[in-house]
Amino acid sequence: MNSQSSFRRIAALVPSITDSVIGLDGGNLLIAVSDYCPLPDGLSGHVERVGGPKSLEVNKIISLEPDLVLANCEENDRQQIETLVQAGLRVEVEFPLTPRQVLESLRRLAVWCGAPGHPALSELEDLLERCETAASKLPPFTYFCPIWAGQGKQPDWWMTFNRGTYPEALLALFGGRNVFSQRERRYPLGANIGLYAAEDPAGRDTRYPVVGIDDLAMLRVDCVLLPDEPMNFHLDVPKQRLLNRLKETAAIQPRIIPVDGALLFWPGLKMAQALERLPEILFL
C-alpha cells in the first residue's frame, strides 16, 4: 500500500511512531528503530536498532542513510536530533498533545508511508467522533496517575503529568479529571518535596510535576491509575510501595486500576485501542 511513498528508507525513533508506521503498512520502509520500538518477527532481522530514544547512536543513524527520520520532540534528545539535521537528513518531529492532533499527525505519517487513504485513519476518526459525542454522558471521575517514582535515600516521591499532556487530554474524553492538572514541575527535584527552594525553570519542561507524601495525605480521588510504563507500577515493589503509602496517608481510599501504559502514552495508531478499551477499564 506504500507504492506512492517518495521515501524508501525510514528511521523511526520512538515506539509510538514505529507502531504507527507498521500499522499504516509502512513496515517494509523501516531501516532503523530505537531499542524500545516493537517489531513483528518478519521485520526484526532486517531493521537496525539504534539506541534508546534519548541515547541514540547518531553516527550509526547517519551511516544508514535514511531519507526520512521520524522523531518526537518530547521523547528524543533535541541536540541529537539537531545533529541529524545538520548531517543533511530530513527529520520530521511530531508532538501531538490531544486526540485530534494525533489524528492530524497520523494523516501526515500516512502520506510519508505512501498510504494517505489508509482505512485505519477513517476508522480512527469515526471512533474518535463517537467518543467525543458520548463524553458528555459519562460520569466524571478524578484520578491520580504516577509515571515514575523516587528511589534511594530521598523521601518518597512520584512523578505525574498535568494539563499540557496527551494522557490528560485523552482521559478527559472519558470524564477524567486529573487531580494534579494545575500542578507544575519545580526545579531542582527536591524543591517539589520541600528539600530546596525552587529555581526559575528557565524554559525547562514543567508538565511533569513531582508529588510527595504530603500530597498523598490530602489526596481525594476516585481512582489511581497504575500504568506499566514508563515505570512499571504493575511490579510488586513500586506498586506495593505506593499502595502502602496510600493506605497510610490518603484521605480517601481510591479504586486502584492497572492500565496498559501504551494506551495512555503512545500518541499514534495505538489511540484506537485506547478509545475502545479505556471505557471498560475505567468503568467496570
Task: Grade residue 1 by pLDDT with cuts at 50, 70 and 90.
Answer: very low
Please, which pLDDT band fits residue 233 given cuts at 50, 70 and 90? very high
Mean pLDDT of 243-268: 94
List the 210-212 sheet strands across, edge first.
Answer: 148-149, 157-159, 210-212
Task: Label residue 222 by pLDDT band (50, 70, 90).
Answer: very high
Q: Is the pLDDT of residue 196 over 50?
A: yes
Taking only the tens place, the pLDDT of each residue in 155-176 is: 899 999 999 999 999 999 999 9
Give the mean pLDDT of 133-153.
88
Residues of the chain with CATH 3.40.50.1980: 10-132, 138-283
Taking the CB of residue 177, how many other CB atoms lie within 10 A of it?
Answer: 14
State residue 42's pLDDT score.
85
**Residue among 184, 179, 148, 144 nearest 164 (CA):** 184
Q: What is the pLDDT of residue 3?
A: 55
Residue 281, pLDDT above cutoff 50: yes
CA dist., res. 198 & res. 181, Å (int): 19
Whether CATH 3.40.50.300 fits 138-283: no
User: What is the arithmetic mean of pLDDT over 138-144?
Assistant: 93
Under DSSP, is residue 158 helix (H, G, I), strand (E, B) or coil?
strand
Confidence of residue 50 (pLDDT cuts 50, 70, 90): very high
Please tell me the predicted confidence (pLDDT) of residue 152.
66
| Residue 125 pLDDT level (bands cut at 50, 70, 90) | very high
| The CATH number fitting domain 10-132, selected from 3.40.30.10, 3.50.50.60, 2.60.40.10, 3.40.50.1980 | 3.40.50.1980
**How does DSSP assign 116-149, residue by residue?**
TT-HHHHHHHHHHHHHHHHGGGSPPEEEE---EE
What's residue 251's pLDDT? Answer: 84
Single-letter amino acid code for the residue at 218: M
Q: What is the pLDDT of residue 154?
A: 72
Q: Is pLDDT at 2 greater than 80 in this prediction?
A: no
- pLDDT the model gives residue 252: 86
| Confidence check: pLDDT of 283 > 90 | no
Choice among 21-35, 88-102, 139-153, 263-277 with the minimum mean pLDDT: 139-153
pLDDT of residue 46: 87
**Cα dihedral angle (245, 250, 253, 258), rounded to 10 degrees?**
-50
